[in-house]
Structure 1
Amino acid sequence: MKHVFLLLMCTCTFFAFGQSKSFKISGKTFSETDNLPLESATVYLERVEDSTLLTYTISDKNGDFILEGKTYDKKLNLLISYVGYKILKREIVLNKEEIALGKLNMAIDNNALDEVIIKSTPPIRVKKDTLEFNVKSFKTKKDASVEDLLKQLPGVEVDTDGRIKVNGKEVNQILVNGKPFFGNDPTITTKNLTKDIIEKVQITDTKSKEDAFVGKESDGENKTINLTIKKENNKGVFGRLAAGGGTDKRYEFAGMFNYFNNDKRISVLSGGNNINSPGFSFGEIRKMFGGGNNIAVYGNGNFVVDGRSFGGGQGITTSRTSGLNYADKIGEETDVSGSYFYSGSESENESSTQRENILPDRRYFTDSNSSSSNSTDSHRTNTEFEFKIDSTLYINVRPSFNFSKSKNILSSDEASRDMDQVLINESKRSSYVENTAKNFSNDFSITKRFGNKGSFLRLFFNNQNNMTETDDFLDSEANIYGTTPNNIIRKQFTDGENQSSDVSTGITYRQPIMGKELSLDFNYRYNRNKQKNIRNTFDFDDTEQDYNAFNKDLSTNFKYIDDNSIYGIELSYRKDKLFANFEADYVDRTLENQDFLRPELNIKRGFNNVQLSSRIRYRFSPKASFGIGYRMRNTVPSLSQLQSFEDVSDPLNTVVGNPNLKVGNSHNINVNFNAFDFTKGTGFYGFLRSDFRNNQVVRKSTIDDNLIRKTTYENVNGNYNLNGYITYSKKVKIDSLKTVSFNIGFGPGLNRSVNFNNDVKYASIRKSITPSVMVTFSWKDVLEFYPRYRMAFTRNTFSINNFEKQEFTSHTLDLNLATFLPKHFEWQNNISFNYNPNIADGFQKSAWFWNATLGYSFLKDKAMLTLKAYDILNQNTNASRIATENYIQDSQSTVLQQYFMLSFSWKFNSLGSKGEVRERGFHRF
């Protein structure tokens, strides 16, 4: 089959070439008034007949530009746009391959501040830190979604899971007219809004609302996309309904309704399934009926929603979700939004593991099996109130409340043997646990601006309160053989209560020193975290047949307080292309633990330290930038690590804290560089991250001859982690319908860890390399083909001579193909091959995973009938190998098996004159 795919791609590519004529147009943009070059002018070509955008670029610091491409046309219109200047327009006759236009002078637009109508709108504008795209300039299929549109924008990448990057940086927020559309799932926005109702796409650095209000700089690590809707399209309803049923009693249903009326928005969604999907993703046949999203072969790609694990690697999950979102504007000064989500799930899983434990002088082997059943119901509400009293005063309030209940039934058994396979100890355990959790939090801030040079004052107050109540019934038996035999039987009930409260308040004042270029921030922050832990354990009384014998050894009653004040100063500089800042903090912290059952274990420790950070970012041009940052942070030991309480809840592993632990510190250095050339379709992105840690807290265990473990904690020095990634991409536009893209990536890693193994201190060094390559071929409305290969190689070496070197290799191949012929049909195939030659015998080393979907759209493309085949080859597996300095473990658990599903979906849309119809593209199952 893979040969057929390859032949099909080569055939399409062959016919694509040679059908159009190449051109290269160069020139210089200058100001007519002062004869200076104009950087970041938008230069673009349009067809004479219909003004269709052909290609575009941005002028560099010298005003130079180059436009390259292929076309069937003999004449094209050249247009140049620059803020404050009149649009320059020339007709270009393509009578030769290379055309040099020389110097092009642009005249100042004296009517720029008046309301004038400009017939030609540039496809892209650069406004300080904002890239703005005019949607009309980008031609897509008539029924295109926002995701389809984003794929056409320069520097924007949308992967098969819907994740978006701009110039190599992750998009972590998508807004509609400056406001979130529905929660934090950007795919709900990109897959449910159509291009027809969007007027502009604006891309900026992600900032908090408070920082955006005062114009404070962001770190530039993430991007925000804002979609502006045409005024005439901002009223109406849209949404979709879908349901499907299949073999093996598999099902899925989902529905979403949206009402827009200018600033008022109401959205309702609901969904459910038993195919390991969150239940409310809307990617048509890709996500709505996508089955186990990100199927985990060898343990890669599981994901979590509200604490529940989804995917192919952790059992079978039945989920249901519903939600309500509301946003409105009250008057001219107040914005209000709120949402409610309910999620419920039931999960069943069985797992087995084989572990080879490595000690300095010997090895032993542990086999374990477990079976679990879990059910969870959670409710979450979030609200936000924004008050813009005037242009200088902003108030933000964000209260939220969460409530959840869960039940978990677990049974497990474990056996350990020495190198001669002699049984040393074994244990059995069964438990029934009920949890009830409540959480309330509120964030309040008030920001006041002074003057027009960037001065501001900000006050904030945040609080969070959590309470968890637990009922735990436990039956366990541990048998210890060898030199000192012992049999430990427990039948217990534990009534637990955990409470925590966090209070944080502070103030920030910015004082400009040199206008808006250089400023000084003064920061103060006070934090207080208080935790209360009560665990009452009762042994079963055989005489009275009740749990009434209090067990002090397994009970706790303590209060833990972390009280700290942070005094900081931050110097920031920003001018033109350069941004730099330096921040220093002094931290005064006190940790206190009060143990009401064991007063002799009370501790109180003071920690005073300094934290530093700085970063520099330089933008060479709109196409390239470089950044470097340094951060020094301190890590305070946790309560469980500090208190000398001896935890004997696990008879095979006793844990006791170390009250003499020191504060750890880390030094982080990050370097990144990205360069994207819109004209040539090339992109380069690379980063290097390093983390050097001193006084890091690690576990220190001692194992006796009976394999009984006693664990405490120690500080170690010399740990570090270095990792990076380099990727190069090239996009070749064969003609207006066909493109080929290449992406080559390389990710090296180096890690050094200092640990203890049976009281012996040692260091381990892990080296890894992860090369990858991806090719994409797109033939508009006909074919999309995405082959991708990734290899991961890891080598572990140790400072202890009798620890053997470890080497592991894994291979992953993905073949994604979509065809859209004949008309109204869409056929997708997602094939992945995973191979891990190092997996232990008895576990599956390799597997082909093939999903296929055939969709037919009708009723003017507003309805779709879909046939889905999941795991056609019936080889889904999640066998995994984990290698550390202390053990090598192979494991395998329940996975979603093969099924077939027939589904129906219907979409409706009254926003604007056109409704949404089918979407295309890939989703990785």
Structure 2
Amino acid sequence: MKRRALLAIMALVAISTIARAQTKQSQIKGRLTDHSSKEALPNAAVALLTLKDSSALTSVVSDTKGFFSIKSPRPGNYLLVVSYMGYQQLLRNITIRDTTGLVELGTLALRRTGLDLNEVEIVKVVPPIVIKEDTIEFNAGSFKTRENAMVEELLKKLPGVQVDKEGKITANGETVKKVLVDGKPFFGNDPKMATRNLPAEIIDKIQLIDQKSEQAQFTGISDGETEKTINLTVKPDRRKGVFGRASAGYGTDDRFSVNASFNRFRETQQLSVMGGGNNLNNTGFTFSDGFGFNGGGGGMGGARGLGNGGNNNQNNTGLMRNWNGGINYSNEFSKDLRVSGSYFMSDVQRQNESISQRTNKPKPDSSSYVDNSSSSISNNRNHNANMRIEYDIDSFHSLIVTPNFSFSSGDNYSQNRNTTLNNDRDTVNSGQSYNWSTARSPNFNGNALFRKKFDKKGRTFSTNLSFGFNSSDKESINQSQTMYDIKGTRFIDTIDQKVLQSNSSRNLGVRMSYTEPLGNDRYLELNYGYTNNYSSTDRKTFDKDKLSGVYDMPDDSLTNAFDNTYSNHQTGLSVKTQRLKYNYTVGVNLQFNSLNSENITKDSTIRQSTVNFAPLAHFNYNFSRNSRLRASYRGQTQQPSLEQLQPVPDNSNPLYIRLGNPDLKPSFSNNLNISFNNFDPVTMRSFFASVGGSMVLNQIVNATYLSSDGKQTSQPVNVNGSYNMNAYIVNGFPLSKNVDRPASLNTNTQVGYNRGVSFVNNQKNYTGNFNIMQGVNFTYTHDELFDFTAGANVNYNSARFSIDKTSNYNYFDYVFNLDANLNLPLGFTIGSDVDYTINTGRGEGYNVQYTMLNGFISKSMFSKKQGLLKVQAFDLLKQNVSVSRTVQDNYVEDSQTMVLQQYFMVSFTYFLNRFGGRASRGRGGPGMNIMRGHGG
């Protein structure tokens, strides 16, 4: 019944969308040209204003031939305003008499600036979208948000931008890695710190930037390396003032949430302080988490109702309590010196329980099945500090220094109970294990980048010095008791040990780059890099003396100390060509790798030397400002970790013994990617498609041996033959340009195939994993009355094993969701969030169907809506579960994990907003900042 009800809702949404799309509206059509040359004027801003109060109603951008079309929602008198850079604004009175008529304006000719404007009334219109090189700029005022909404809600309204329930941002199909505020970092590189803590009301522009690398920004020569970045520019009258908020909530089962933040902006200076705590499974300091389920936390119920905070709880397994706090500071001390830095700390306690069923498939006649239950309690404390110092020594020299420091410590307790069955489903072993551990790890690293330009354009030199130190100390107690039953013979194996392990590493690197112009549009780049990594590990194992009860009996078989030194020399040459429509880079790198591993305990040394030949290529073609094609190839070396190299067993799990391998070689991956991106400013439609793949040489994989008593022994080895391929398509379809009633449809398709190689009982196994996912999402807002989002995802997975085709798997997952908010009189808002999930193709007991239903009601308080009282409910149907499937080269495992269950909470939030400038509230409209006056 629940499934039918949800499908009925989805059908109604589709029917209403189609019906609305077929409803006729009056249209205003025309074409824009130059008055003298009669040439078309593309990408001109065309706005429709109400004649009564000049409030902006809607806006469009002319197409490549100068044509535009505006849909008017109702009859009335309007003012048409046309703006184009270098031309006088054109004003035209428009009368709409009915809702089905057509107003044909014909050709509208714009005159260039420079004429006498003394008697001409000027209406300044800021277009909602401006396309620049490598940047799409949105005017924040063009996209209405609720009172006290956060930036995340604003981003969700931008065409081509999607924000998922964990706060991950995707812009035109590409993941946003960084969010800046007026070009400065905000609490490091976590985008959510800005999007979920800054109010949307202070934002002037949102810039989607294909940010070039530090080297490319300096030289002005594209190297093909870009990172999708969002820059939030603050309104001029909001750059001087203080703002913040404080919230406190308490609920059933002693659930609580407290948060507070304070922000002070002083022109070029930014200071933010925040802190809080909760036991609602929120991992970081975000106000969407702290204020409950909604993304905005604002007076109108937040973005998409329960879209973020609530499902954050659902996706975080276990039960967690978190205290955290931090400070962020940035300042432009002068035009030559810019400094930014942040510090953040957290204290997280997590409790977890899980059950799982694993099928090990080494070969058809020797499968084993493991039933496992586990529980754990952990407490971790983390401190992170980072800084960025930019100093322009003069117009030819600059220096950037970025030091980072972190310190983490933690305590952990876990216990496991397991039973292993053979191919005939007979018990071969059963037991339980316990582990206590405590650890601490200080880390420091940094970079210093010096850059120099010469008089000759394109001739540059830069050098980057990197350095770092990392260490960790861990003490653990391992206890286990396992009973084996092999062909009727039973025996018990007991372990009771203390392990002391110390790891340390230090690294030093330098990279130098020189560019030389070979003509007007071609450049030569020479580079050289050297890195040196030294690491050491010392593992000591002691058995417990049964008489004294002290762990003072060394176990030499599990004790080892070794030093590892890795050095790399890399030299490269590339040619870069930069044209108006396209640019490309072709080159080659040579890498000389040297590995020296000294086993101090066994007095032995292993030396390895490898040479990698790595061609590189990048190609970018710009069909227009908003349409481009990219292709790139790059080779990359990956070093084995300390744990993979250490040649001693790790028996913390007595049924899964892990061995290191000091003979491991570095792996080398070949990566190819092709992508196409298009954004149409006329239709607001976005499209992104990419296809890529990689092939790995000397890939490090686990060789596993399964014995007749159910034990597994795993050791990393190098293999060839693994590769992966993937494709990704994202479509964004605005269904309405009416800013009062926007609607959009977004689809995303993912296809992937991964071929893995492993060894199982000395037999090579090839595993092929195929995945295809189709998602669709529909959003609609009706004036300021209500908004909702409806979506669905279908995910298909298959796994194929070469050594045992009877183990092949196929399974589907389905997820349907509906979020809605309704604004009521007297400042009341109600909202709901429902997710319906279906898991299929899993083991017995893991094919589940469940519905997550959350809801809230809030009341804005005080004359300026500075207060918000909210009552909210999580998991109203008591169905929240967490089920997952893991497919590896030699096993498939289904697991179910503890999650947060139903609770109710009451919270109160107070908002602080005091700025030097006058508040710029009002209708919001399409964000056209309208000013009337007379030219002089």
TM-score for both structures, normalised by structure 1: 0.89
| Cα shift readout 1:151-201 (whole Å, capped 9, x = no counterpart) | 454444444554433333333322222212344343443455445544433
Question: Are 2:773 and 2:794, in contact at CA under 8 Å, matched by a contact in 1?
Answer: yes
Partner of 2:278: 273
| Aligned residue type for 2:243 | F
Partner of 2:319: 316
Superposition map of 1:771-850 within 5 A = 771-800=774-803, 802-843=805-846, 845-850=848-853
| Aligned residue type for 1:240 | R
Partner of 1:711: 714
Aligned-partner Cα distance in 1 for 2:921–2:568:
53
Deviation at 1:534, TM superposition (A): 0.8
CA separation of 1:886/1:142 partners in 2, compared to 1, >3 Å: closer, same or farther? closer
**What is the aligned counterpart of 2:683 among 680, 703, 723?**
680
Partner of 1:298: none
Deviates more, 1:576-585 or 1:152-161: 152-161
Aligned-partner Cα distance in 1 for 2:631–2:451:
30
TM-score for both structures, normalised by structure 2: 0.88
| Cα shift readout 1:525-564 (whole Å, capped 9, x = no counterpart) | 1111111101121212234432222211111211111111
CA separation of 1:482/1:851 partners in 2, compared to 1, >3 Å: closer, same or farther? same
Does residue 887 (structure 1) correspond to residue 887 (structure 2)? The answer is no
Aligned-partner Cα distance in 2 for 1:736–1:684:
22
Paired-residue identity, %: 30
Question: Are 2:281 and 2:316, in contact at CA under 8 Å, matched by a contact in 1?
Answer: no
Deviates more, 1:675-684 or 1:381-390: 675-684
Deviation at 1:311, TM superposition (A): 5.2
Question: Are 1:468 and 1:497, in contact at CA under 8 Å, matched by a contact in 2?
Answer: yes
CA separation of 1:164/1:631 partners in 2, compared to 1, >3 Å: closer, same or farther? same
Question: Are 1:435 and 1:470, in contact at CA under 8 Å, matched by a contact in 2?
Answer: yes
Question: Are 1:909 and 1:915, in contact at CA under 8 Å, matched by a contact in 2?
Answer: no
Aligned-partner Cα distance in 1 for 2:49–2:923:
28
| Aligned residue type for 2:780 | F
Superposition map of 1:394-793 within 5 A = 394-451=398-455, 453-482=457-486, 487-515=492-520, 517-600=521-604, 602-638=605-641, 641=644, 651-657=654-660, 663-733=666-736, 735-793=738-796
Question: Are 2:597 and 2:662, in contact at CA under 8 Å, matched by a contact in 1?
Answer: no
CA separation of 1:198/1:476 partners in 2, compared to 1, >3 Å: closer, same or farther? closer
Aligned-partner Cα distance in 2 for 1:329–1:31:
45
Aligned-partner Cα distance in 2 for 1:18–1:641:
62
| Aligned residue type for 2:519 | M
| Aligned residue type for 1:800 | I
Structure with higher RCO (Cα < 8 A, 6+ apart)? 2
Question: Are 1:908 and 1:915, in contact at CA under 8 Å, matched by a contact in 2?
Answer: no
Superposition map of 1:90-239 within 5 A = 90-91=91-92, 93=94, 97=102, 99=104, 101-102=106-107, 104=109, 107=112, 119-135=124-140, 145-208=150-213, 211-217=216-222, 219=224, 222-239=227-244
Aligned-partner Cα distance in 1 for 2:154–2:319:
35
Aligned-partner Cα distance in 1 for 2:481–2:35:
85
Aligned-partner Cα distance in 1 for 2:41–2:588:
39
CA separation of 1:586/1:577 partners in 2, compared to 1, >3 Å: closer, same or farther? same
| Cα shift readout 1:784-837 (whole Å, capped 9, x = no counterpart) | 111111111112223335533311111111111111123412211110111112
Aligned-partner Cα distance in 2 for 1:908–1:42:
36
Aligned-partner Cα distance in 2 for 1:137–1:738:
13
Deviation at 1:735, TM superposition (A): 3.9
Deviation at 1:574, TM superposition (A): 2.3
Aligned-partner Cα distance in 2 for 1:91–1:611:
61
Deviation at 1:627, TM superposition (A): 1.7
Q: Mark the runs of 5 or more structure 1 residues left unpaired by the alignment.
A: 295-300, 304-309, 920-925
Tell me, what secondary structure is at the counterpart of 2:742?
A: strand
Deviation at 1:771, TM superposition (A): 1.5
Superposition map of 1:6-155 within 5 A = 21-23=25-27, 25-27=29-31, 29-30=33-34, 32=36, 40-58=43-61, 63-72=65-74, 73=76, 75-82=78-85, 85-91=86-92, 93=94, 97=102, 99=104, 101-102=106-107, 104=109, 107=112, 119-135=124-140, 145-155=150-160
Question: Are 2:29 and 2:68, in contact at CA under 8 Å, matched by a contact in 1?
Answer: yes
Aligned-partner Cα distance in 1 for 2:84–2:804:
68
Does residue 862 (structure 1) correspond to residue 866 (structure 2)? The answer is yes
Deviation at 1:219, TM superposition (A): 4.2
| Aligned residue type for 2:248 | A
Deviation at 1:854, TM superposition (A): 1.1
Question: Are 1:703 and 1:709, in contact at CA under 8 Å, matched by a contact in 2?
Answer: yes
Deviation at 1:240, TM superposition (A): 0.3
Question: Are 2:638 and 2:666, in contact at CA under 8 Å, matched by a contact in 1?
Answer: yes
Question: Are 2:522 and 2:577, in contact at CA under 8 Å, matched by a contact in 1?
Answer: yes
CA separation of 1:840/1:643 partners in 2, compared to 1, >3 Å: closer, same or farther? closer
| Aligned residue type for 2:700 | V
Deviation at 1:840, TM superposition (A): 2.6
Question: Are 2:480 and 2:654, in contact at CA under 8 Å, matched by a contact in 1?
Answer: no
How many pairs does the alignment contain?
897
Computed over aligned residues only, the root mean square deviation of the Cα atoms, in angstroms, reads: 3.5
Deviation at 1:847, TM superposition (A): 0.8
CA separation of 1:341/1:658 partners in 2, compared to 1, >3 Å: closer, same or farther? closer
| Aligned residue type for 2:676 | F
Question: Are 1:700 and 1:755, in contact at CA under 8 Å, matched by a contact in 2?
Answer: yes
Deviation at 1:866, TM superposition (A): 0.7
Q: Mark the runs of 5 or more structure 2 residues left unpaired by the alignment.
A: 304-309, 925-936
Question: Are 1:253 and 1:272, in contact at CA under 8 Å, matched by a contact in 2?
Answer: yes
Aligned-partner Cα distance in 1 for 2:485–2:10:
61
Deviation at 1:411, TM superposition (A): 1.6
Partner of 1:877: 881
